[in-house]
Amino acid sequence: MARYVLSDVERNEVAAVADGFLATHPNWAPLEYADDIRVEAERLPLGVRRFLVSSRAAEDATIVLGNLPVDENLVPTPPSWEIAEKEAAAVREELVLLLVGSVLGEPFGWVNQQNGRLVHDICPSRGQENSLTSASSEQQLTLHTEDVFHSCRGDYVALMCLRNPDAVGTTVALVESVEFPEPIRRILHQDRFRFFPDDSHHVVPQHSVERPSALQDRPHEVASVLFGPEGAPYLRIDADFTEALPGDAEAEAALREAAGLLAAAAQRVVLSPGDAVFIDNHRAVHGRDTFTPRYDGTDRWLKRTSLVRDLRRTYVRTKTRARLLG
């Protein structure tokens, strides 16, 4: 894990860049401001930028920043992302995440996830304790590639912690930490798998988190689980939303075995307020441990965005110059 803890001077410099930006952009519209935020990221402390650029080049699977600024008078944890959006909760923290994230890649969002927002709120929501989305709590969030279904998914999933009072762990498993035995490795390299949108993507009508539609009704891609550099392959898997092609029992068995090996190799990253982790979405899968939600304003609360190294991949796919995938 690559880790850099900002000095208090550096933390105050980041806060000053963020405050300066908000003073000149009073109506928070991150999708509109993303290019400007990237320009402002040039003003971040040099040590932070050098760390991020070298971690990106090294393809470090987990990149952690510590001691980022979080408002001392942070509002209570919202009861849902919808309320967080309505109340523009913790906007400066969204900006801080976008500023540091901009050094690693371009932030983008999804038309049909969290209302097309560029930065998402992750907080436990009543009624969703056992859902397969980030609003869950009592259900383990299975190790997954973020947005596994889409060939334009992020190169990084970026999480910034605002609160984590019970020290709930984000789980991370690195592809390089698993030795896939033959013939499983060979099968995982073949286009024998279907990747479906998870329950947070409202890709089909009548679909909701409470009443998710059947996987088979969702549009999906067919591809391999392992791909890319021969000696150090990339990975694409989400056991809950990946299946072998119909009738391919060999591929199904390889998939389940791979998920088991990854689960056995999982480590834990416990984020504290002011920490941000950037998980390489090609080199690692991530999930989350269970916890008991409080629903009293002190709950765990993260901000999340996805970053892509080359936004033109998105433009080509959507045939429009937009930061939103549909």
Ligand X SMILES: O=C(O)CCC(=O)C(=O)O
Assess contact for 169 and 268: CB atoms under 8 A.
Answer: yes
CB closest to Fe ion, residue no: 146
Closest CA to 293 of 39, 78, 24: 78
> CA torsion, points 75, 85, 11, 25, in degrees to nearest 10?
-120
State the binding partner of 202 from Fe ion, ligand X, none, CB within 5 to 8 A by kind.
none
Count of positions on this chain that bind Fe ion (CB under 5 A): 1
Q: CB of residue 321 vs ligand X: minimum separation in angstroms?
A: 26
- Among 302, 308, 311, 325, indicate the residue that binds ligand X (CB under 6 A): 302
Does 226 interact with ligand X (rule: CB under 6 A)? no
Nearer Cβ to ligand X (55/164) = 164
Does 307 interact with ligand X (rule: CB under 6 A)? no
Does 131 interact with ligand X (rule: CB under 6 A)? no
Assess contact for 162 and 70: CB atoms under 8 A.
Answer: yes
Nearer Cβ to ligand X (194/304) = 304
User: Per-residue contact track with ligand X, 85 to 124, x per CB under 6 A?
Assistant: -------------------------------------x--
Does 141 interact with ligand X (rule: CB under 6 A)? yes
Tokens for 182?
């033959």
How does DSSP classify residue 43?
Answer: G
**Which residues ranging from 248 to 267 are in contact with ligand X (CB under 6 A)?**
none
State the binding partner of 302 from ligand X, Fe ion, none, CB within 5 to 8 A by kind.
ligand X
Nearer Cβ to ligand X (90/244) = 90
Tokens for 286?
């991530």
Query: How buried is residue 229: exposed, middle or buried, by Cβ count under 10 Å (0-12/13-18/19+)?
Result: exposed
Closest CA to 276 of 51, 72, 13, 85: 51
Does 173 interact with ligand X (rule: CB under 6 A)? no
Does 198 interact with Fe ion (rule: CB under 5 A)? no
Q: CB of residue 104 vs Fe ion: minimum separation in angstroms?
A: 17
Assess contact for 121 and 63: CB atoms under 8 A.
Answer: no
Q: CB of residue 316 vs ligand X: minimum separation in angstroms?
A: 25
Give the span between the Cα atoms of 141 and 254, in whole angstroms.
Answer: 21
Does 237 interact with ligand X (rule: CB under 6 A)? no
Q: At a CB cut-off of 8 Å and minimum separation 6, what does 108 contact?
A: 118, 154, 306, 307, 308, 311, 314, 323, 324, 325
Does 280 interact with Fe ion (rule: CB under 5 A)? no
- Among 146, 198, 252, 280, indicate the residue that binds Fe ion (CB under 5 A): 146
State the binding partner of 304 from Fe ion, ligand X, none, CB within 5 to 8 A by kind.
ligand X
Query: How buried is residue 87: exposed, middle or buried, by Cβ count under 10 Å (0-12/13-18/19+)?
Result: exposed
Q: CB of residue 163 vs ligand X: minimum separation in angstroms?
A: 12
Contact region with ligand X (CB under 6 A), list: 4-12, 28-36, 53-61, 282-290: 282-290
- Among 55, 114, 131, 134, indicate the residue that binds ligand X (CB under 6 A): 134
The angle that helices 46-57 and 8-24 make with each other, rounded to 10 degrees, is 90
Does 146 interact with ligand X (rule: CB under 6 A)? yes
Q: CB of residue 266 vs ligand X: minimum separation in angstroms?
A: 12
Give the span between the Cα atoms of 71 and 177, in whole angstroms.
Answer: 37
Closest CA to 135 of 285, 325, 288: 288
Q: CB of residue 160 vs ligand X: minimum separation in angstroms?
A: 11
| Distances 314 to 106, 145, 168, 321 between C-alpha atoms, Å | 10, 18, 33, 8
Binding site for ligand X (CB under 6 A): 122, 134, 141, 146, 157, 159, 170, 286-288, 302, 304
Binding site for Fe ion (CB under 5 A): 146
